């Protein structure tokens, strides 16, 4: 199942003293896209797209919120964030066990303390790829100019027996 971008919310705010000599002006951004259904194993991948505008310059930091995750067996899920050039990070793989969840909010940041556990609860987590040493986490995308092409949230259900959905997802960052 493929879900195309249905809605995007955007804001960029200058932060800090731009001309006071106290430090650089930093632009913060937040972009949100709607999620959709997550099919059971063998019934297709869930690929959710988010377009950053060309005006987003070189990325200095990035974080991700998955809002409203529901699944009959969250331990069946593998979640990845994929940049337009194919670079990706592992957010979580097979975490959360077999206890159904409804409306869970997962905030992923490199600075978080741990990875999602069982049972899967709303909270702030480190991307599993960074925690396990498989990838560099969101630092993978530092220096990347990510506007104009889609970023993808990939949700794979790798075991039969349950479906789910994602309400929305938001990229937060600075340039």
Q: Read off the pLDDT of residues 10-24 as tens digits, 9 standing for 90 and up.
A: 333 333 333 344 445
According to DSSP, the residues that pair with 66 across neighbouring strands are 106, 169
The whole-number pLDDT of residue 140 equals: 95
Q: Read off the pLDDT of residues 57-94 as tens digits, 9 standing for 90 and up.
A: 889 999 999 999 999 999 999 999 999 999 999 999 99
Helix/strand/coil percent split, the chain, to 5: 5, 45, 45
Longest dimension (CA), the chain: 59
CB-CB contact of 161 with 59 (8 Å): no
| CA angle, 42 then 108 then 48, to 5° | 40
Backbone angles phi, psi at 138, to 5 degrees: -65, -20
Q: What mean pLDDT value characterizes the chain? A: 85
The whole-number pLDDT of residue 16 equals: 38
- 94-99 long-range contacts, CB within 8 A, separation 24+: 94/158, 95/120, 95/128, 96/71, 96/120, 97/73, 98/73, 99/74
What pTM did the predictor assign?
0.84
């Amino acid at each position: 199942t493929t879900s195309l971008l249905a809605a995007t919310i955007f804001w960029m705010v200058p932060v800090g003293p731009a001309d006071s000599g106290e430090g650089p002006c930093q632009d913060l951004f937040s972009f949100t896209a709607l999620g959709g259904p997550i099919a059971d194993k063998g019934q297709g991948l869930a690929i959710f797209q988010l377009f950053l505008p060309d005006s987003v310059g070189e990325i200095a930091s990035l974080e991700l919120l998955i809002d409203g995750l529901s699944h009959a067996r969250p331990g069946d899920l593998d979640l990845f964030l994929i940049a337009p050039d194919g670079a990706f990070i592992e957010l979580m793989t097979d975490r959360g066990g077999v206890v159904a969840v409804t409306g869970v909010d997962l905030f992923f940041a490199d600075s978080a303390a741990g990875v999602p556990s069982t049972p899967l609860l709303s909270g702030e987590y480190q991307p599993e790829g960074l925690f396990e040493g498989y990838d560099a986490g969101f630092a993978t995308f530092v220096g990347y100019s990510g506007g104009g092409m889609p970023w993808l949230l990939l949700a794979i259900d790798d075991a039969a027996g349950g479906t789910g959905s994602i309400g929305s997802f938001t990229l937060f960052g600075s340039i």
